[in-house]
Amino acid sequence: MTSHGRLAGVIPPLCTPLTPDGRVDETSLDRLVDHLIEGGVHGLFVLGTTGEVSGLTDAQRELVVAATVARAAGRLPVLAGAIDTGTDRVVDQARRAAAAGADAVVVTAPFYAATHPEEIRRHFAEVAARVDVPVVAYDIPSKVGTKLSPDTVIELATEGAIVAVKDSSGSDVSLRALLSRRSARGLDLSIFTGSELTVDYAIGLGCDGVVPGLGNVDPAGYRLLFDLARAGKVEQARAEQDRLFELFRITTVADRAQRSATSAALGAFKAALVDLGVIAGATLARPGVPLDEAERAEVCALIAEFGPRIGAIVGVGTIGSGSEEPAGQ
C-alpha cells in the first residue's frame, strides 16, 4: 500500500539519538539506521513514543525524518509519527513528514481534549483526506487516554482511510477481534502488534508484524523471532521470545523514585545502544532523566547475559531471504 507495498515484518520505533545539549545527533542516527537494516528489519518507524516524539520540536522532527530517509536510501520504507493533539495539527505534522520523505504517517487518536468515537473517526478520515501518504492508525490508550475500538479501525480501513494499525493497547481480545473481522471482510489492512513480548503469539495469530521498542537494541533477534513465528516453528520462536523477554528487563533497572517509567525504559534503550557502540550518548529529550552510572552498568550486565544477537545476522538471513522481505510485498 506504500510505494514499498503492503506493510509487514519487523518495524522498530527508532530511538532519537541526542547530543548532551539536546540536539539531534545525526551521526548516531545514521549508525542506528545501519544497525537496524543490518539486523534485518523490514521498515523504520521514526517519531514514535520510543522516538520521544513528544519531546522533539518541529525542527527536530523534520530533521529526524529527512536524515532517516536519506540514510535508508529507499532500501526499506520509513514511517513517521504525526503525533499531535488535534486534527489540523496532525495534518500539519503529517504534511511535513511527507515532505521530508516519509512513506507513511502514523497517527493516534486526538488527545488532551476529551474525545468521542465519532470524533476519532472524523479525525482519521480528515487526516487521510488531506495527506498524500498512507495513514497508519496507532492505538495507544496509555498515552492518549482512549482506545481505538475494533469497530472504528475496521470502519476506517473499509473506507480506505488507513492502511495499517499498530495495536499497542495490550488488549488481546481487541487484537483478536481485529484479525477476525479483517478475515470476515477480506480487508487489505496490515495489523501490527506493539507488544514486543508476545510476538510469537501475535504472528502465530495472523498479525503482519511487530513494532518493538527493544528492536532498537536487538533487531536481529526480532527478525529471527518473526521469521521463526511465521514459519510456524513454535518452540524455537518461543525460545527466542523468552530470551528477548529477559533482555527486556533492562527497561526496569532504573530507579523509579527518580524518574518516570518512560525515562526508565527509553533511558535503558539508549544506554544499551551506547554500550553496543551504536550511538554516542544516552541523553533523553527534556525533561527526561537519564540513567545514572550504576544503572547503566546494570543494563550492560543484562546485555552481556541475554544480549543482542549481533553475530547471528547471517543465520537470520538464511531464514528470510531478501526477495521475500515482508515490507516489500
Closest distance to a copy of itself from the beta carbon of 177 (Å): 8
Instruction: Based on the shown chain and the rule CB under 8 A, indicate whether residue 149 belongs to the binding site for a copy of itself.
Output: no
**For a copy of itself, which residue of 159, 258, 315, 324 counts as binding (CB under 8 A)?**
258
**For a copy of itself, which residue of 182, 223, 259, 309 counts as binding (CB under 8 A)?**
259
* Nearest residue (CB) to a copy of itself, 114 versus 304: 114
End-to-end Cα, the chain, rounded Å? 9
* Nearest residue (CB) to a copy of itself, 55 versus 317: 55
Q: Which stretch binds a copy of itself (CB under 8 A): 29-37, 286-294, 304-312, 321-329?
A: 286-294
**For a copy of itself, which residue of 287, 314, 318, 323 counts as binding (CB under 8 A)?**
287
Three-class secondary structure of residue 141 per DSSP: helix
Q: How many CB atoms lie within 10 A of CB 304?
A: 9
Cell of 203: 504472528
Distance, in Å, from the CA atom of 49 to the CA atom of 264, rounded to the nearest integer, reads 13
What is the DSSP-derived secondary structure letter of residue 250? G
* Nearest residue (CB) to a copy of itself, 6 versus 249: 249
**Binding to a copy of itself in span 23-52, by CB under 8 A:** 49, 52
Amino acid at 124: F
Instruction: Based on the shown chain and the rule CB under 8 A, indicate whether residue 181 belongs to the binding site for a copy of itself.
Output: no
Say whether 222 is catalytic: no
Per-residue contact flags (x/-) with a copy of itself for residues 9 to 28, judged by CB under 8 A:
-------------x------
Query: Does residue 41 contact residue 223 with C-beta atoms inside 8 Å?
Result: yes
Instruction: Based on the shown chain and the rule CB under 8 A, indicate whether residue 129 belongs to the binding site for a copy of itself.
Output: no
Q: Which of 110, 159, 168, 163 is CA-nearest to residue 135?
A: 163
Q: 166, 201, 222, 270: which one is catalytic?
A: 166
Say whether 201 is catalytic: no
* Nearest residue (CB) to a copy of itself, 243 versus 309: 243
Q: Angle of helix 26-38 relative to helix 58-72, nearest 10 degrees?
A: 40
* DSSP codes, 275-319: HTTSSS--PPSTT-----HHHHHHHHHHHHHH---GGGHHHHHHH
Q: What is the dihedral of CA 23, 29, 32, 38, to 10 degrees?
A: 180
Beginning with the edge strand found earlier in the chain, give each strand of the sheet holding 78-81 in spatial order. 9-10, 209-210, 190-193, 164-167, 135-139, 104-108, 78-81, 44-46
**For a copy of itself, which residue of 30, 70, 187, 245 counts as binding (CB under 8 A)?**
245
**For a copy of itself, which residue of 37, 70, 197, 312 counts as binding (CB under 8 A)?**
197
Distance, in Å, from the CA atom of 300 to the CA atom of 72, rounded to the nearest integer, reads 28
* Nearest residue (CB) to a copy of itself, 73 versus 173: 173
Geometric angle at alpha carbon 311, from 309 and 316, rounded to 5° = 70
Per-residue contact flags (x/-) with a copy of itself for residues 82 to 121, judged by CB under 8 A:
-x-xxxxx--x-----------------xxxxxxx-xxx-
Cell of 172: 488481546
**Binding to a copy of itself in span 212-241, by CB under 8 A:** 232, 234, 238
- Positions annotated as catalytic residues are 138, 166
Residues that bind a copy of itself (CB under 8 A): 22, 49, 52-58, 60, 83, 85-89, 92, 110-116, 118-120, 122-123, 126, 143-145, 170-173, 176-177, 180, 195, 197-198, 201, 204-205, 232, 234, 238, 242, 245-246, 256, 258-263, 285-289
